[in-house]
Chains A and B, each alone.
Chain A
Amino acid sequence: MSGFEAFDAPREPGQPPRIPLPRSSVEDGDRPLPAPREPASAPLVLEHHVLKSLLGAWALAACSAEETAAVEDHLGGCGPCAEEALRLRDAVGLLHPPESLDLDPALRTRVLQRCLDRRPPRIPVPDWATPYDAETARLDALLQDIGDAEWHAPVRLRWFDGEGPTSRRTTVAGVIAHLLCVDGLVAVALGLDDPLGGSPADGPGPAFRTEALWRSAPSPPTRAVRRPWREQSHDLVRTVSFTGGSGSGRLAVSYGDFDLPLHDAMLDRAFECWVHAEDIADAVDYPYEPPAPRHLHRMIDLAARMLPVVLAGRRQEGLASPAPGRHLGVAGGPGRSLRLEIEGLGGGEWLIPLDSPAAEASPEHEIAHVALDGVEFCRLAAGHVPPEEAAAGQVGDREAIRDVLFAAASLSRM
C-alpha cells in the first residue's frame, strides 16, 4: 500500500476495502463522538490476518480500545495467536530504558594498559601519540552522548590574536569540522588523504583550512562530521605507530607560517582536542575533566618549549620589550631566564630563555619567577584567559613576566 493510499483511506488503511468498517470513520462524520470505551458500540469484526498483525501493537498497548477488545476476543478461540500473544507480552517486559552510556573515560586507559602489560605490543603507539589517542577517545565519548539538536548548539571559538582576545562563532559540528581539517595537516604530512579534499583554502594554515571547509559545506555541518573526524584520528594513531619508531617523529608538519616536528604536532593536536572538547562540553552543559596528569605535563612542556620562539617573534614585531644589549643571548650561551613553575598534577618547572631561542636558560641569570596552576596555564595558552588576568604568582622583572604571559597567550590560534 502506498503512503498516498494510506493517507486517503478513511480510518482503517490496514483493512482490505471490501470488508465493512463498522464504526471506524466516526471521527470523520457529522455524528458526535461516542464516549471513550463505551461498551454499547458494536464490536469490531476483523479478519484473522489483521488480528494477527495487531499482536505486536496489542502487546505494547498501542491499539485502539476497539481493536484491543477484538484481539482479546480472538485470543480466546485461536491457539497459535494466543501463544504468540503471550510470547510478545513477555518480550515487552524485556524492554528497558537504555543504560547510561557514560563510561568512565579513565577505564579506557586502565583496560588498554592491562592488555599491553600482559601481551606487549609488537607495534606500540609512540609515547608522544598517546595523549592524542586518549583525548580523541574522550571527545568521541562525549559526542556519542549528545543528541541531534545539540550538534547545532552555538559555540564561540576564542583565541588571542597577538594583541587581544578574538573569537569566531560556530556550532558543535563546526568545531569537529575544524578539528578534522586541522588534524588534516598531520594527515597530509604523513601522506594520508587530506580531509579538505577538493576545497582549496586561501592559505595553508589552520584558520584558512577551517574557513575553506566551513565554506565548502553545502549546509551547516551536522553530526555526520563525527565519523570522518574519528576515522582520521584512528588513522593518524595507526600511521604514526608504524612510522614513529624510526626517528620520523621529527618529520616536519607544516602549519603554514611555522613547522612542528611530528611528535610535537601530535601533542599540539591532543591539546587542541581537549581545548575544543571543553568548548563543546560548555555549550551542551556536560562536565569535562582535564587530561590525565602525564598527558597534561607533555602539553605544558610543549608550550614551554615553544615560548622562546614566540617571544622572539613578538619582539621582532615590536610586541615585546627588546632584550637589553648587555645580556643579548649568544647562541648556546647562557641568557636571562624566567622560571615557570606549574603547580598541580602534571606540573613541573621550566626555565625559559628570554633573550633568544638559541640562548641557554640559566638559573644564575633568573630574573623572574611565575607560578600558575597547570590547567590555568593551559587556558592561558589556549587564549581563553587574557594574559592580564591570568592568576599567576609573580616575583621579579615585571616586564619579562608580562612578555612571557603574552607570549603564552599568543600560542593560541583558531
Chain B
Amino acid sequence: MAKKDAPPRWDRKMQQRLARGEAAALGELYDRFASLVHGLAHRVLGDERAADHITRDVFAHVWEHPETYDPKQGPLRSWVATLTHRLAVQRLRATETAALAQGGGSTEELERKVRRASVAARADYIVTSMPSPLRAALELAYFQRRDYRQTAADLGVTEDEARRRLRLGLQLLSTAHDAGAPGSPPGYGGAV
C-alpha cells in the first residue's frame, strides 16, 4: 500500500538523486528511514552498537549501489527494510555461529533464535506499515487494554468496524511468521 507521504514518484526521484551523487539526497534518505532501519536492526540484534553498525552498512549500500533498487518492484521503504533485515540476520547468524564455535548451545537453538528475531523484526515492520486505522485499534485494545466496545467508542466507529479492524490487524501481523524464499523475507512486500 503506497503511503500518502511517500508516493512512488518520491522513490524514483530519490534513486535518481542518489545515482547522481547528490549528498543532500543521502541526508534526506537518512532522515526518512534511519529510525526504521535502526529499529529493525535493534529488534533482530538486541544491541545498540550492533544496530548502529547495521544502520551504517545499510546507508552505505544504498549510497554506493542506488541502481540495485528497482522502483517497479515496490516502494523504497520496503526495499530498505528488506535490506536491513538481511544484513541484521546475517550479522546475528555470524555472531551466534562464533558463539557456537566457543562451545555454547546447538545449531537448532541457533536456528530458533535467528528465526525468532527475524519474525519479531518483520512483525515490527508490519505494525509500522499497516494502515493507521488498524494500528490505532490494536494500540487501544492491546497496549491500553480497552475492550472492543471501548475501542469502537474511542475511535468513533461501530462495534462491527472495531472487531473488523482488530481481526484484520492481527491477520496482517500473523504473516510475519510466513517464511519465504531466502533473501526476500516476507512481510516487507507490497501487501502492507
Contacts and interface: CB of A to CB of B under 8 A. Distances in A.
A104 interface: yes
Contact of B148 (A57, A94, A96, A230): A57
Contacts of A13: 158-160
A224 to B, nearest CB: 13
A90 B177 contact: yes
B38 A91 contact: no
Given A1-B158, A107-B52, A111-B55, A116 B23 contact: yes
Contact of B167 (A55, A98, A108, A114): A55
B3 interface: no
B39 A112 contact: no
Nearest to B146: A62
Interface in B160-188: 160, 162-171, 173-174, 176-177
B21 A122 contact: yes
B70 interface: no
Interface stretch (A184-192, A233-241, A290-298, A307-315): A233-241
Nearest to A121: B23
A133 interface: yes
Interface of B: 20-28, 30-31, 34-35, 38-39, 42-43, 52, 55-56, 59-60, 63-64, 119-120, 123-124, 127, 138, 141-143, 146-148, 151-152, 156-160, 162-171, 173-174, 176-177
Interface of B is mostly: helix
Nearest to B21: A122
A63 interface: yes
A123 interface: yes
Contacts of A42: none
Interface string A49-76: 0000111110110111000000000000
Contacts of B171: 56, 84, 87-88, 91
Q: Which of B20, B120, B138, B156 has the most CB of A within 10 A?
A: B138
Given A13-B158, A103-B34, A95 B127 contact: yes
Contact of A53 (B27, B143, B160): B160
A104 B167 contact: no
Contacts of B27: 108, 112, 125, 133, 137, 234, 237
Contact of A121 (B21, B159, B170, B173): B21
B141 A60 contact: yes
B147 A62 contact: yes
B148 A91 contact: no
A140 B163 CA distance: 36
Contacts of B38: 103, 107
A18 interface: no
Contacts of B148: 57, 60, 62-63
A144 interface: yes
**Candidate in A60, A101, A140, A237 with the most chain B CB atoms within 10 angstroms:** A60
Interface string A218-251: 0000000000001000100110010000000000
Contact of B158 (A6, A84, A122, A124): A6
Interface in A117-149: 118-125, 133, 137, 140, 144
Nearest to B22: A123
A64 B147 CA distance: 8
A330 interface: no
Contact of B142 (A60, A108, A111, A124): A60
A176 to B, nearest CB: 16
B170 A56 contact: yes
14 contacts: A6-B159, A53-B160, A53-B163, A53-B164, A91-B173, A94-B119, A94-B123, A95-B123, A97-B143, A108-B31, A112-B23, A123-B23, A125-B24, A133-B27
